[in-house]
C-alpha cells in the first residue's frame, strides 16, 4: 500500500452541553497520514487544540475495533462515514485526499439528546432491552448445552441478528429516526432460537411499546438503516418482528 | 499481616463441592436488606450483578461507558474454554486444570484453577440457555476449535465475536434484573475511591462523568470487576478507556496487589504503523489454528512474501516446537517472534513483523470441499476459491478488520503480525473467596490475580470472568455477608464518606490547577515507552532500575506540567484520562519493582539473566514458588508479602512444548 500525507479542512459540530446552542466550527489539520484511522486523525486535532489551550472535541469511542458500538460520528452526511459496513473507528484516512473538507456531526435524533459536541445519550437502547430483550432464565442448573440441538442455518441467522453492536447508526440514518432495525435485530436474535420462543410475542410487544415511548419515529420502509448499519443487519429482521407483533396483537394475549 | 488464602481442606477435586455445601447462607428476607456495589459491567461484573440480583440482593452497578454492554469484554474474539469433552478427544476437568497450571508456568493457585475447570462446563450451559448463539455443526450441536497451549478442542466460539455474544448474554440478564428493580444501573460513572469503615469496605465515591458531580454510595460489600491494566503500556489491545484506577484506589486503601509484573504479550497483533498509533489490534489466537507463522530464511529479505519460495521460509515455531507447532502458548510464541526480528529476519517496512500465512489452510480446506462435493478433477482455481470460502466462514470478520486497517488483502498475501500487550495476569490479590485483603472488598475477572499464574492460556479469561461472576461469588459473598445481616445501611454523611470524597475532590482540583503545557496523552505515551522498553517482553535488572527512576521523574513532571482544558463540573474526557494516567504512573513503578524482585523468568515475565541455553524461560522454584502480594505503604513504598504456592497434585517441571 502506498502511503501519503494530506492536509484537511474539518467542520465539526460543537455544543457545550445539552442546553446550549450548537454550531459548526472549522479546523485545519496538517500532515495526516493515510495510514491513520479516522479517530486517530481526531486525536491529532485534539492534541493540537490542547496545545493551543482550547477545549478538545468530545467524541465517544472505546474499543476502536468496530465492536463496542461506542463511536458514533455522522461524516459528510453518512452515519459512520463512507465505507460499507464499517464503524467510525475502522474508517481509515486512505479514503481521503489532500485538500478534502470533511463535515462531522453527532447522531441526530430526539431520542438521542446531545451530551457534548459529538457525544449523545443512547440510554434509550438500554431501556428497550430492559423492557424485554432477554430470555427469562436465572443463573445455575441450566441443562447440558448439547441437549438442545439447533439447526445450523437457524443458529447462523440468529447470530447474524445478534451481531448488532447497538451503535444507533440506524436511527441516525433514518429520516424518521426510527429504531426498528436495532429493536428487530435484538428481538430476532432471541426469537430465532428455541430458547427464545416462549417469550417471543410478549418480547416484541414490550420492546416496540418502549421504543415508541422513548420518542423514536416510526418505520416507513425506507431502508436507510440497513444501508448504513456497520454490521450488515438485514431488513428481514424488521419483517420478522412485525409478524411476531401482529400475531401477538391478533391473539390478544402473549402465550 | 499474614496471608491467608482460605483454601478449603481436603482433596483438590472435592474442595469446591465441600465449600458449597458447608458455606453459610443468607435467607431471602435478609438478602433484601443487603446492598452490594459492583464496579464494572464486563463479563465478570455483569454476570455477578445479574446473579446477585436474582438471589435478591440490592445491587448497584457502575461503568464508565455509556452502556454496560460496551465493556472491554465485548472485544474478545476467539472463544471460551470449557471441559465439556464434546469432541471426545480426551478432555476432562483435570486436563483443563492441568493445562492451565502448566500454561501459567506453575505460578497459579491449584485450588482456584481446579474450581475454574470444574465450573467451566456450567458456563456453556448457562450461556446457551440465555440465547448465546455459539457456532454449531450441521448436526445442530456446538462446534469447537483449538487454542494455544492445549492438544484438545475445547474452545467454544461465536465467529470472531465471542466476547460480544457472551457479554450481551450477561447484559441481558442484567437488564432483566434492572427491570425487576433488583439492580440499579449507573453508566458514565467512574469509581474514584473506596470507603473503609471499621476496617471493612462499605462504599465508594464515584464521579458522574456527564455532570462532573461526585456521589457517595453505600454497600455492605463492594465488588471490583474493573478489568485489566494493560494500558499502562499506552499501546495495547485493550479498549481505550481500560484503566487501573478502581484497583489502584483499592490498593492504596489496603488491598494487596498480586504479581503486578505478570503481563501477557500476545503474539498475533497488527504491527505498529507510526507515531500516530493509538491502540493495537489483535488478530485472534484462533488464527493460529490454521495460519502458519514464518519469516524468510535470509536476513533483511525484502522480497514480497508470495515471491519467497517454500524452501526459503523458516516456519520457526514448527521447527522449534514440533509437538505444539503454531499452537504453543502465547508467551513462547511472542518471544520466538521477537527473537527472529531482533536477529534481523523481520519483515515489512519496520522489520518488526512476521508472516501469518493462510495459503496452505486455504488449499487444504479447498480439497476437503472438493471431496465433499465429489468433484472429480477440480482445478487449482476451484480449490483455492472453495478454500477461501471456508476460511471466510471461520475468520471472515478478522480478515475484514485486517484489510480495513492495513489496506492489504489477507486472502491473497500473508498477514503481518507482531506481539503486543494484551492482558494482565497480575491484579488485586484475592483469597479463595475472591475477597481482597480488605474485608468486604472483592475482585473478580481480569482485575484479580487469581487463576492464570504467570501466563494465561487463550480463551481462559472469558471463562474466568464468567466463572467468578455466575458461579463463585454468589456462594462466597453469601458466606461472608451472613455475618453482616445485622449491619444497617450506613448513611453516607458518615465521616469516612466525607473524608474520602474530600480527598477525591482535592485531587481533581489539584490536577485542574496545574495548567501546565503538556497534554495527558503525551505523558501517557512517554510512560508507555518506558514500560515497553524496560518492563516489556524482555526485562533485565539494569533496565528495571532505570525504569522505576524514570517513572518517578515523569510522575513529578506530570504533577507540575500537565494541561487539562475544560472545567470540573462538565463532561470532560481529558480530566477522566488524567485521573487514569496519574494512577498508571504509580502502578508502573510497582510493576518495575515486582519485575526486579522476581529474579527468575516465568511465563510472560522474562528476565534476560534467567534463560535456558535455547532461550526458554528459566524458573527458580526454590526461591520464587510464591505469589508476590504487595502492600501499599506510601509513595514509592511497598511491602512484599509472600503466599507460598503448595503444589499438591501437579509437580512443577520445566515446561516443554517440544
Ligand atoms: C482484543 C481482545 C481479545 C480478547 N479475546 C479473548 C478471547 O477470545 N478469549 C478470552 O478468554 N479472553 C479474551 N480476551 C481477554 C478478555 O476479553 C478480558 O480479559 C475480559 O473480558 C475481562 O473481563 P472483565 O469483566 O474482567 O473486565 P472488562 O470487560 O474489562 O470490564 C471492565 C468494566 O469495569 C468498568 N470500569 C473500569 N474502571 C472503572 C471505574 N473506575 N469506575 C467504574 N467502572 C469502571 C468498565 O466500565 C467495564 O464495565 C481478549 C482481550 C482483548 C483485549
Ligand atoms: S442495527 Fe446496525 S446500525 Fe442499528 S444499532 Fe445495531 S449495529 Fe448499529
Ligand atoms: S470505538 Fe468501539 S466500535 Fe468504534
- The B residues from 572 to 601 touching A (CB cutoff 8 Å) are 573-574
Is the confidence at residue A255, as pLDDT, over 60? no
User: Which pLDDT tens digit goes with each residue over A122-164?
Assistant: 999 999 999 999 999 999 989 999 999 999 999 999 999 999 9
CA distances from B90 to B152, B153, B286 (A): 7, 9, 20
> How large is the ipTM?
0.97
Q: How far away is chain B from the Cα of A195, in angstroms, using its nearest Cα?
A: 6
Question: Within this chain, do residues B417 and B523 fall inside the same structural domain, yes or no?
Answer: no
Query: Taking CB atoms and an 8 Å limit, are A140 and B277 in contact across chains?
Result: no
Question: Within this chain, do residues B100 and B55 fall inside the same structural domain, yes or no?
Answer: yes
In a domain, B648, yes or no: no
User: Which pLDDT tens digit goes with each residue over B290-330?
Assistant: 999 999 999 999 999 999 999 999 999 999 999 999 999 89
- Asked if the C-beta of B281 comes within 8 angstroms of chain A's C-beta atoms, the answer is yes
Residue among B315, B336, B393, B294 at smallest CA distance from B537: B336
Residue A172 near ligand 2, beta carbon < 6 Å:
no
Note the helical H segments in B322-373: 330-342, 359-372
Is the confidence at residue B160, as pLDDT, over 90? no
Is the confidence at residue A238, as pLDDT, over 50? yes
Residue written as grid cell 529476519: B345
Can you tell me the distance from the alpha carbon of B645 to that of B107, in angstroms, rounded to the nearest whole number? 7
Question: Within this chain, do residues B517 and B475 fall inside the same structural domain, yes or no?
Answer: no
Structural domain total, chain B: 3
* Number of other CB atoms surrounding residue B14 within 10 Å: 12
| Confidence grade of residue A252 (pLDDT, cut at 50, 70, 90) | low
Residue count of chain A, please give it. 255
- The A residues from 72 to 101 touching B (CB cutoff 8 Å) are 83, 86, 90-92, 94
| Confidence grade of residue A1 (pLDDT, cut at 50, 70, 90) | low
Whole-number pLDDT of residue B612: 92
Beta bridge partners of B221: B36
Question: Within this chain, do residues B291 and B438 fall inside the same structural domain, yes or no?
Answer: no
Residue among B480, B303, B287 at smallest CA distance from B398: B287
Whole-number pLDDT of residue A205: 96
Separation of B42 CA from ligand 1 center, angstroms?
A: 6
Separation of A166 CA from ligand 2 center, angstroms?
A: 5
Q: Which residues span the domain enclosing B526?
A: 495-625
Q: Are B485 and B34 in contact (CB under 8 A)?
A: yes
Whole-number pLDDT of residue A151: 97
Question: Within this chain, do residues B192 and B278 fall inside the same structural domain, yes or no?
Answer: no
Q: Are A46 and A57 in contact (CB under 8 A)?
A: yes
Q: Are A254 and A205 in contact (CB under 8 A)?
A: yes
Q: Which of B169, B209, B239, B461 to mutate to test the pocket of ligand 1 (most atoms within 8 A of CB)?
A: B461
Question: Within this chain, do residues B201 and B274 fall inside the same structural domain, yes or no?
Answer: no
Is the confidence at residue B604, as pLDDT, over 60? yes
Per cent of chain B over pLDDT 70 is 100
Can you tell me the distance from the alpha carbon of A194 to that of A7, in angstroms, rounded to the nearest whole number? 54
* CATH number (domain holding residue B253): 3.50.50.60
Phi-psi label, residue B634: left if phi above 0, alpha if psi -120 to 50, beta otherwise: left
Question: Within this chain, do residues B508 and B569 fall inside the same structural domain, yes or no?
Answer: yes
Interface test with A, best of B71, B176, B561 (most A CBs within 10 A): B176
3-state class of B515 per DSSP?
coil
From the CA of B270, which ligand is nearest?
Answer: 1
What is the spatial order of strands in the sheet that B638-644 belongs to?
A: B427-428, B257-258, B626-632, B638-644
Pocket of ligand 3 (CB under 6 A): A 61-64, 66-71, 87-89
Question: Of all helices (H) and strands (E), which one includes residue B630?
Answer: strand B626-632
Residue of chain B whose alpha carbon sits nearest to that of A91: B404
The larger pLDDT score, comparing residue B285 to residue B523, is at B523
In a domain, B4, yes or no: no
In a domain, B465, yes or no: yes
Question: Within this chain, do residues B98 and B229 fall inside the same structural domain, yes or no?
Answer: yes
Question: Within this chain, do residues B333 and B466 fall inside the same structural domain, yes or no?
Answer: no
- Going from the N-terminus, what domains does chain A have, and what CATH number goes with each? 5-116 (3.10.20.30), 123-251 (1.10.1060.10)
> What is the pTM for the complete model shown?
0.97
Q: How far away is chain B from the Cα of A155, in angstroms, using its nearest Cα?
A: 6
Per cent of chain B over pLDDT 90 is 94
In a domain, B75, yes or no: yes
Exposed (0-12), middle (13-18) or buried (19+): which is B56, by Cβ within 10 Å? middle
In a domain, B1, yes or no: no
- Asked if the C-beta of B406 comes within 8 angstroms of chain A's C-beta atoms, the answer is yes
Phi and psi at residue B293, to the nearest 5°: -95, 130
Reduced DSSP (H G I as helix, E B as strand, rest coil) percent helix, strand, coil of chain B, to 5: 45, 15, 40
Whole-number pLDDT of residue A254: 46
User: Which pLDDT tens digit goes with each residue over A97-112?
Assistant: 999 999 999 999 999 9
Residue among B609, B333, B637, B351 at smallest CA distance from B455: B333
Beta bridge partners of B435: B442
> With helix as H, strand as E and coil as C, how does A111-141 read?
CCCEEECCEECCHHHHHHHHCCCCCCCCCCC
Q: Are A100 and A197 in contact (CB under 8 A)?
A: no
Question: Within this chain, do residues B202 and B332 fall inside the same structural domain, yes or no?
Answer: no
Query: Taking CB atoms and an 8 Å limit, are B142 and A53 in contact across chains?
Result: no
State the average pLDDT over residues B20-45.
Answer: 97
Instruction: Give the single-character DSSP code of A178.
Output: B
All cell numbers assigned to B631: 502492600
Per cent of chain A over pLDDT 70 is 98
* Number of other CB atoms surrounding residue B491 within 10 Å: 9
Q: Which atom of ligand 2 is nearest to the CA of A185?
A: 1
Interface test with B, best of A18, A52, A84, A139 (most B CBs within 10 A): A139
Residue of chain A whose alpha carbon sits nearest to that of B282: A65
In a domain, B130, yes or no: yes
* CATH number (domain holding residue B339): 3.90.700.10
* CATH number (domain holding residue B570): 1.20.58.100
Question: Within this chain, do residues B506 and B598 fall inside the same structural domain, yes or no?
Answer: yes
In a domain, B645, yes or no: no
User: Which pLDDT tens digit goes with each residue over A35-84?
Assistant: 999 999 999 999 999 999 999 999 999 999 999 999 999 999 999 999 99
Question: Within this chain, do residues B206 and B288 fall inside the same structural domain, yes or no?
Answer: no
State the average pLDDT over residues B565-578.
Answer: 98
All cell numbers assigned to B87: 469432541
Can you tell me the distance from the alpha carbon of B215 to that of B228, in angstroms, rounded to the nearest whole number? 24
| Mean pLDDT computed over every residue of chain B | 96
In a domain, B640, yes or no: no
The partner residue sitting opposite A142, judged by closest CB among B126, B163, B273, is B126
| Confidence grade of residue B285 (pLDDT, cut at 50, 70, 90) | confident
Is the confidence at residue A226, as pLDDT, over 80? yes
Whole-number pLDDT of residue B654: 85
Residue A165 near ligand 2, beta carbon < 6 Å:
yes
State the average pLDDT over residues B151-164.
Answer: 94
Amino acid at each position: 500500500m502506498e502511503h501519503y500525507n494530506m492536509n484537511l479542512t474539518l467542520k465539526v459540530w460543537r455544543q457545550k452541553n445539552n442546553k446550549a446552542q450548537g454550531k459548526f466550527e472549522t479546523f485545519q489539520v496538517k500532515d495526516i497520514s493515510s495510514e491513520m484511522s479516522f479517530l486517530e486523525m481526531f486525536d491529532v486535532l485534539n492534541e493540537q487544540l490542547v496545545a493551543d489551550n482550547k477545549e478538545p472535541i468530545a467524541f465517544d469511542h472505546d474499543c476502536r475495533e468496530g465492536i463496542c458500538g461506542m463511536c458514533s460520528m455522522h461524516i459528510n452526511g453518512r452515519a459512520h462515514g463512507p465505507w460499507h459496513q464499517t464503524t467510525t473507528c475502522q474508517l481509515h484516512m486512505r479514503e481521503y485526499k489532500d485538500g478534502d473538507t470533511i463535515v462531522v456531526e453527532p447522531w441526530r435524533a430526539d431520542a438521542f439528546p446531545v451530551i457534548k459536541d459529538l457525544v449523545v445519550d443512547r440510554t434509550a437502547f438500554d431501556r428497550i432491552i430492559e423492557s424485554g430483550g432477554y430470555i427469562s432464565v436465572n443463573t445455575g442448573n441450566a441443562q447440558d448445552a448439547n441437549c438442545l440441538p439447533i439447526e445450523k442455518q437457524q443458529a447462523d441467522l440468529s447470530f447474524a441478528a445478534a451481531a448488532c453492536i447497538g451503535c444507533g447508526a440506524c436511527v441516525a440514518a433514518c429520516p424518521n429516526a426510527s429504531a426498528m432495525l436495532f429493536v428487530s435485530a435484538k428481538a430476532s436474535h432471541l426469537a430465532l432460537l428455541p430458547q427464545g420462543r416462549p417469550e417471543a410475542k410478549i418480547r416484541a410487544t414490550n420492546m416496540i411499546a418502549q421504543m415508541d415511548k422513548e420518542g423514536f419515529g416510526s418505520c416507513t420502509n425506507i431502508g436507510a438503516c440497513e444501508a448504513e448499519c456497520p454490521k450488515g443487519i438485514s431488513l428481514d429482521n424488521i419483517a420478522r418482528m412485525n409478524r411476531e407483533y401482529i400475531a401477538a396483537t391478533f391473539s390478544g394475549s402473549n402465550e | 499481616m499474614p496471608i491467608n488464602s482460605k483454601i478449603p481442606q481436603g482433596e483438590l477435586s472435592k474442595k469446591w463441592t465441600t465449600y458449597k455445601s458447608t458455606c453459610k447462607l443468607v435467607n431471602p428476607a435478609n438478602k433484601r436488606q443487603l446492598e452490594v456495589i459492583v464496579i464494572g459491567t464486563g463479563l465478570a461484573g455483569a454476570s455477578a450483578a445479574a446473579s446477585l440480583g436474582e438471589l435478591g440482593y440490592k445491587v448497584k452497578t457502575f461503568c464508565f461507558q455509556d452502556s454496560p454492554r460496551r465493556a472491554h469484554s465485548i472485544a474478545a474474539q476467539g472463544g471460551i474454554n470449557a471441559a465439556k469433552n464434546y469432541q471426545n478427544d480426551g478432555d476432562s476437568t483435570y486436563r483443563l486444570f492441568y493445562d492451565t497450571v502448566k500454561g501459567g508456568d506453575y505460578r497459579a493457585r491449584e485450588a482456584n484453577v481446579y474450581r475454574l475447570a470444574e465450573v467451566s462446563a456450567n458456563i456453556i450451559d448457562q450461556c446457551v440457555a440465555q440465547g448465546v448463539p455459539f457456532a454449531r455443526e450441521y448436526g445442530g450441536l456446538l462446534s469447537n476449535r483449538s487454542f494455544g497451549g492445549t492438544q484438545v478442542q475445547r474452545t467454544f466460539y461465536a465467529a470472531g465475536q465471542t466476547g460480544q455474544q457472551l457479554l450481551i448474554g450477561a447484559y441481558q440478564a442484567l437488564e432483566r434484573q434492572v427491570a425487576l428493580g433488583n439492580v440499579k444501573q449507573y453508566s458514565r460513572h467512574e469509581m474514584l475511591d473506596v470507603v473503609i469503615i471499621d476496617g471493612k469496605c462499605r462504599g465508594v465515591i464515584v464521579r458522574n462523568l456527564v455532570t462532573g458531580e461526585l456521589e457517595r454510595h453505600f454497600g455492605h460489600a463492594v465488588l471490583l470487576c474493573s478489568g485489566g491494566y494493560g494500558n499502562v503500556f499506552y499501546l495495547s489491545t485493550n479498549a481505550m478507556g481500560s484503566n487501573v484506577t478502581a484497583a489502584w484506589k483499592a490498593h492504596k486503601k489496603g488491598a494487596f496487589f498480586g504479581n503486578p509484573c505478570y503481563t501477557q504479550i500476545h503474539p498475533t497483533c497488527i504491527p505498529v504503523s507510526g507515531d500516530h498509533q493509538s491502540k493495537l489490534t489483535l488478530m485472534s489466537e484462533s488464527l493460529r489454528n490454521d495460519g502458519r507463522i514464518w519469516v524468510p530464511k535470509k536476513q533483511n529479505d525484502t522480497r514480497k512474501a508470495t515471491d519467497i519460495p517454500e524452501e526459503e521460509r523458516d516456519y520457526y515455531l514448527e521447527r522449534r516446537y514440533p509437538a505444539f507447532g503454531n499452537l504453543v502458548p502465547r508467551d513462547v510464541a511472542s518471544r520466538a517472534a521477537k527473537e527472529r526480528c531482533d536477529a534481523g529476519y523481520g519483515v515489512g517496512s519496520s522489520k518488526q513483523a512476521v508472516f501469518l500465512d493462510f495459503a496452505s489452510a486455504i488449499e487444504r480446506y479447498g480439497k476437503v470441499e472438493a471431496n465433499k462435493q465429489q468433484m472429480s478433477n477440480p482445478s487449482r482455481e476451484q480449490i483455492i476459491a472453495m478454500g477461501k470460502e471456508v476460511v471466510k466462514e471461520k475468520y471472515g470478520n478478522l480478515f475484514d478488520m485486517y484489510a480495513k486497517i492495513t489496506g492489504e488483502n489477507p486472502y491473497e498475501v500473508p498477514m503481518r503480525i507482531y506481539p503486543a500487550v494484551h492482558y494482565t495476569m497480575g491484579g488485586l490479590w484475592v483469597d479463595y473467596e475472591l475477597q481482597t485483603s480488605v474485608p468486604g472488598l472483592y475482585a473478580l475477572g481480569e482485575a484479580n490475580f487469581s487463576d492464570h499464574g504467570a501466563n494465561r492460556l487463550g480463551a481462559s479469561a472469558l471463562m474466568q470472568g464468567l466463572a467468578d461472576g455466575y458461579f463463585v461469588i454468589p456462594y462466597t459473598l453469601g458466606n461472608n455477608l451472613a455475618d453482616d445481616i445485622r449491619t444497617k445501611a450506613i448513611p453516607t454523611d458518615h465521616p469516612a464518606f466525607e473524608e474520602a470524597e474530600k480527598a477525591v475532590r482535592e485531587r481533581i482540583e489539584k490536577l485542574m490547577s496545574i495548567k501546565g503545557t503538556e497534554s495527558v496523552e503525551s505523558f501517557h505515551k512517554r510512560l508507555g515507552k518506558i514500560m515497553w522498553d524496560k518492563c516489556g517482553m524482555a526485562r533485565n535488572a539494569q533496565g528495571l532500575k532505570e525504569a522505576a527512576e524514570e517513572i518517578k521523574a515523569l510522575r513529578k513532571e506530570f504533577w507540575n506540567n500537565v494541561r487539562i482544558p475544560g472545567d470540573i463540573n462538565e463532561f470532560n474526557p481529558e480530566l477522566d484520562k488524567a485521573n487514569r494516567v496519574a494512577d498508571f504512573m504509580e502502578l508502573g513503578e510497582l510493576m518495575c519493582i515486582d519485575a526486579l524482585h522476581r529474579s527468575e523468568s516465568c511465563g510472560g515475565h522474562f528476565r534476560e539473566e534467567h534463560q535456558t541455553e535455547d532461550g526458554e524461560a528459566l524458573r527458580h522454584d526454590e526461591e520464587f514458588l510464591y505469589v508476590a502480594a504487595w502492600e501499599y505503604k506510601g509513595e514509592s513504598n511497598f511491602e512484599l508479602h509472600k503466599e507460598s504456592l503448595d503444589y499438591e497434585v501437579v509437580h512443577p517441571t520445566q515446561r516443554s512444548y517440544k
